[in-house]
Amino acid sequence: MIICLLRGLAAALLLAAAAPAVLAQTYPAKGVRIVVAYPPGGATDVVTRVLAEHLSRSLGQPFVVENRPGAGGLIGSDVIAKAAPDGYSLLMGVVSSHAIAPSAYKSMPYDPIADFSTISLAAGTSFFITVHPSVPAQNLAELIQLARARPGTLNFGSSGKGTTPHLAGELFNSMARVQIQHVPYKGSAPMLADLLGGQIQVAFDNTVVANVRAGKLRALATTGPRRVAALPDVPTAAEAGLAGYEVVTWMGMMGPRGLPAPIAARIAGEMARIMVLPEVVERLATLGFQPLTNTPTQFAEYLAAERAKWAKAARDAGIEPE
């Protein structure tokens, strides 16, 4: 009897040990949705669709992008925070919804760290400080001079309250000692439309490359530590005279809290392969992005550091949660 029990226990242990491997091998068994918490046409949407197409090919099941815009990314993120942790509902999270939002909102429908499982970073970029051609500023120093001479008369648009472009603009106001008024939009696409139309004059955004190349907008500086290959003649903010001003943004794949580690690892492994494919790198470059991939554990550590960093930036800029 004891021998039989021991054999049964051993068999159970072997099955338990094999379960993660089996789970990873059988996933996905059906279609997967990836929620993008912003409207179609923006950078997050475009990058996610490129990735989804390749994931569909390599994993043999459709990965479908679902746009759920609103509230600076909170609505779509909350959908996944409350989804079943089975690997069939994922989120392309961004720095604004998971690192900045806690500094912009007194209450949130989700905890940006505790309610999610990290999978992998996907891509990252700096912004371009961009103006409509009607603005009589040919460089960053002239924009600062103009804003100081006309306080409160220039507007900058963002993809929503509490997003990275919003905080980038407020940080610019603080460091440059200017008053450019914030106008929030529900995503970067409608903001860009108003910037092209001249309804707003300034933007801190990463979806402007094609329009800058076409002469429809003027990029005065990039917010990152290095120049961007897509617009190599555009200086960094530091090179343009605003030393210490640096803003970068990122997007990364997440699932609900409790996502099985084998599933997270499998998706992360596929992303590491896909995001460095030449055609993907080229597509990212047209948007001003570079591939950024890591492991679920590394992404979790990075997310915690980013949340701390942006909390300090918000405090230093005098932004109070509302």
Q: Are residues 29 and 121 in the same domain?
A: yes
Q: Are residues 309 and 257 in the same domain?
A: yes
Task: Give the CA distances from residue 300 to residues 21, 25, 98, 120, in Å, rounded to whole numbers and listed in that order.
Answer: 22, 24, 11, 9
- Residue 238 is assigned to a structural domain of this protein: no
60: domain CATH number is: 3.40.190.150
- Residue 239 is assigned to a structural domain of this protein: no
Taking 90 as the threshold, does the pLDDT of residue 264 lie above it? yes
pLDDT at 158 (0 to 100): 92
Percent of the chain scoring above 90 in pLDDT: 66
Structural domain count of the chain: 2
Taking 60 as the threshold, does the pLDDT of residue 308 lie above it? yes
List Cβ neighbours of 247 (8 Å cut-off, separation of 6 or more): 126, 127, 164, 167, 168, 171, 204, 223, 224
* Cα–Cα dist 219/203, whole Å: 9
User: Which three-class secondary structure state does DSSP give residue 116?
Assistant: strand
Q: Are residues 253 and 119 in the same domain?
A: yes
pLDDT band at 64 (very low <50, low <70, confident <90, very high): very high
Q: How many CB atoms lie within 10 A of CB 276?
A: 11
CA angle at residue 13 from 11 to 17, to 5 degrees? 120
* Cα–Cα dist 256/184, whole Å: 28
- Residue 137 is assigned to a structural domain of this protein: yes
Instruction: For residue 181, give its domain range.
Output: 128-222
Record the pTM.
Answer: 0.72
